[in-house]
Amino acid sequence: MKPYLAAAIQMTSVSDLQNNLLQAEELIDLAVRQGAELVGLPENFPYMGEEKDKLAQAAKIAHESEKFLKTMAQRYQITLLGGGFPIPVDNTGKVYNTALLVDPNGQELSRYQKVHLFDVNVPDGNTYQESSTVMAGDRLPGVYSSPELGNIGISVCYDVRFPELYRHMSGKETDVIFVPAAFTAFTGKDHWQVLLQARAIENTCYVIAPAQTGTHYARRQTHGHAMIIDPWGVILADAGDKPGVAIAEISPSRLEQVRRQMPSLQHRVFG
């Protein structure tokens, strides 16, 4: 593993697939021009609209998203995460919320189907029922091992509230964990940053958290603040509340230092 720059992209995706992919390409270009070699796009990067409309276009969104990720990774010679897009599940009328990691040759490295679905009545009056259109994945996320970029794990949004998922990944010596999200504005203001910091600290790893921000459709608003956090919980970069990019260095020497100073993973008693 070498030192390198990573980027967490922040978008305001809407119900226009091509417009969203164009926005994503512009932000990938911005990240690469600043030297990023590992780039993450947020959950729902290709489409954020009404659930019925998403389902109606799911096959097209899935096809265009996979093609886009592989094309961008090859064109810019980066390792690229598409942080969540719908892939239809045969004979169910539902989709998997799928995150896909692609290498600079356009080859798939890792695929994760979101396990924890956001079925919540938020105190701001909004109700979310992700399970009405999304099929929960049934497999723990894998960890992709790269000689240059380290061991990379993937989670998606609501997963961040379930620490056992990250303990599984830390057991596979994960160095970097992605948490692409479309976190609600109401919960994000209180929970987003502290949850990301907790996952980084307790697992002594970097957390890269691409995010959605702003107003997408109807009353759907997201929190923003795409971040990169180091293994000590220090926020290295924060994209604020507008579309943009958070960029920071992933340092193997920093990982070694924190793990030496705070060897908590070696002190686990249970599990």
C-alpha 58/C-alpha 56 separation (Å) is 6
Which token pair is 41?
Answer: 């796009």
The arrangement of secondary structure in 4-265, i.e. its CATH architecture, is 4-Layer Sandwich (3.60)
CB atoms within 10 A of CB 173: 13
Phi, psi of 113 (to 5 degrees): -105, 120
Task: Report the alpha-carbon distance of residue 207 to residue 195 in Å, rounded.
Answer: 11
Give the pLDDT of residue 270. Answer: 87
DSSP at 15: S
Q: Tell me if residue 43 is catalytic.
A: yes
Out of 37, 64, 157, 205, the active site residue is 157
What are the tens digits of pLDDT across the range 124-141? Answer: 777 888 999 999 999 999
What pLDDT score was predicted for residue 171?
92
Task: Please say if 67 is a catalytic residue.
Answer: no
**Catalytic residue check, 114:** yes
Catalytic residue among 37, 70, 114, 205: 114
Which one of the listed residues 43, 54, 70, 94 is annotated catalytic?
43
With vertex at residue 98, the alpha carbon angle to CA 92 and CA 102, rounded to the nearest 5 degrees, is: 140
| Positions in the chain whose pLDDT score sits under 70 | none
